[in-house]
Amino acid sequence: MRKVIPFNENWSFQKQDTGLPHSIPADWETVTLPHTWNAVDGQDGKGSYYRGACWYAKEFPTPSGLSDNRIFVEVLAAALSGKVYINGREAAYHEGGFSSFTADITDYLHPEGSGEPNLIAICADNSDRPHIYPRMADFTFYGGLYRGVNLIMVPRVHFDLEYWGAPGLSVTSQPDGESACLKLQSWVKNADADYTVCYTVTDAQGRNVAECWRPAENPGTSIFLPQAHLWQGVEDPYLYTCTAALVYRNEAVDEISCRFGIRSFCVDPEKGFFLNGKPMMLRGVSRHQDLLYEGNALTREEHYQDAALIHELGANTVRLAHYQHSRDFYDACDEYGFVVWAEIPYISSQSDDPKAHENCRTQMQELVYQNYNHPSICFWGISNEITIAGEKPGLVENHKDLNALVKEIDPTRLTTMAHVSMVPLDSRLHGITDLESYNHYFGWYGGKYTENEKWLDNFHEKHPEICLGLSEYGAEGIITYQPDEPKCRDYSESYQAEYHEHMAEILMARPYLWSTHVWNMFDFGCAARNEGGTAGRNNKGLVTLDRKIKKDAFYLYKAYWSSDPFVHLCGRRYAQRAGAADSGVSGENSGAKTSEAGAHTSVKVYSNQPEVSLYVNGELFRTLKGEKVFLFEQVPLFDGFTCLTACTGGCCDNMTLEKVDSKPKIYTLSPEEDEDGDMEGAANWFDEAAAVDANMPMEFPDGFFSVQDTVKAVLEQEDAAAVLAGALFAMTGMKLKKSMMGMMGEKTVEGLMEMMTGMGMGDNVPENALQVVNAELNKVRKK
Residue 697 burial class via C-beta count within 10 angstroms: exposed 0-12, middle 13-18, buried 19 and up: exposed
Torsion 735-738-740-741 (CA) sign: positive
3-state class percentages of the chain: helix first, strand second, coil last, to nearest 5: 20, 35, 45
Residue 335 burial class via C-beta count within 10 angstroms: exposed 0-12, middle 13-18, buried 19 and up: middle
DSSP helix/strand/coil, 460: helix
Tell me the C-alpha to C-alpha distance, in Å, between residue 239 and each of 231, 372, 375, 760.
Answer: 7, 15, 9, 47
Given 95, 294, 343, 385, the catalytic residue:
385
Strand residue runs (E) in 261-363: 265-268, 272-275, 278-279, 282-287, 317-320, 339-343
DSSP helix/strand/coil, 253: strand
State how far the Cα of 740 lies from the Cα of 717, in Å rounded to an integer: 16
Q: Which residue from 273, 283, 287 is spatially nearest to 319, judged by alpha carbons?
A: 287
What does DSSP assign to residue 107? G
Residue 23 burial class via C-beta count within 10 angstroms: exposed 0-12, middle 13-18, buried 19 and up: exposed
Residue 729 burial class via C-beta count within 10 angstroms: exposed 0-12, middle 13-18, buried 19 and up: buried
What string of DSSP letters covers 375-400? TTEEEEEEEESTTTT---TTHHHHHH
Contacts of 214 (CB under 8 A, 6+ apart): 196, 197, 199, 220, 221
The neighbour count for residue 214, using CB atoms within 10 Å, is 18
Contacts of 763 (CB under 8 A, 6+ apart): none
Torsion 99-342-408-354 (CA) sign: negative
DSSP helix/strand/coil, 350: coil
Torsion 228-229-234-235 (CA) sign: positive
State how far the Cα of 80 lies from the Cα of 86, in Å rounded to an integer: 20
Cis before residue 134, ω within 30 degrees of 0? Answer: yes
302 is annotated as an active-site residue = no
DSSP helix/strand/coil, 504: helix
Strand residue runs (E) in 156-194: 158-159, 169-176, 179-186, 188-189
The neighbour count for residue 259, using CB atoms within 10 Å, is 17
Contacts of 718 (CB under 8 A, 6+ apart): none
Tell me the C-alpha to C-alpha distance, in Å, between residue 548 and each of 302, 306, 521.
Answer: 13, 11, 13
Q: Are 624 and 647 in contact (CB under 8 A)?
A: no
Torsion 431-432-436-440 (CA) sign: negative
State how far the Cα of 344 lies from the Cα of 323, in Å rounded to an integer: 4
One-letter amino acid identity for 362?
T
What string of DSSP letters covers 731-783? HH---EEHHHHHTTTTSBHHHHHHHHHHTT--TTS-TTHHHHHHHHHTTSB--
User: Cα dihedral angle (155, 160, 162, 163), rounded to 10 degrees?
Assistant: 170
**∠613-615-620 over CA atoms, to 5°?**
80
Q: How many residues does the chain have?
A: 783
The neighbour count for residue 222, using CB atoms within 10 Å, is 12
Active site (catalytic) residues = 385
